[in-house]
């Protein structure tokens, strides 16, 4: 199986998301796995992804937290990974 990478995390693409509540452009808060605990950013990415309850490994997705400044909401955005 070939390795895939997140274009946003690796600076190869821009984060683009629209708030589902108010349709305003949202900002990237980083990978979802980085919010699981104080040491999460230091754990292997695939270690977290295997136990997070999402199908992100199978579907080759990088899950990011997004924030909408207009309506003050946060939501998860699925970024499609590319061949690394």
Per the structure, the count of domains in the chain is 1
Does the pLDDT at position 2 exceed 70? no
Does the pLDDT at position 1 exceed 60? no
pLDDT at residue number 3: 85
Q: What is 24-77 written as a DSSP string?
A: -B-EEEEEGGGGSSTTGGGS-HHHHHTTSSSSHHHHTEEEEEEEETTTTEEEEE
Domain membership of residue 50 as a residue range: 4-83
Q: For 5-32, how does the pLDDT look when each residue is reduced to its tens digit (9 = 90+)? A: 999 999 999 999 999 999 999 999 999 9
Q: For 23-75, how does the pLDDT look when each residue is reduced to its tens digit (9 = 90+)? A: 999 999 999 988 888 888 888 777 778 778 788 888 999 999 999 999 999 99
């Amino acid at each position: 199986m070939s390795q895939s990478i997140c274009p946003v995390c690796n600076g190869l693409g821009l984060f683009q998301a629209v708030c589902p509540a108010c349709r305003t452009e949202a900002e990237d808060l980083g990978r979802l796995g980085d919010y699981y605990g104080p040491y999460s950013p230091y754990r292997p990415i695939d270690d977290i992804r295997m136990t997070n309850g999402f199908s992100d490994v199978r579907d080759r997705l990088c899950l990011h937290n997004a924030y909408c400044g207009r309506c003050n909401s946060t939501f998860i955005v699925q970024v499609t990974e590319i061949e690394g």
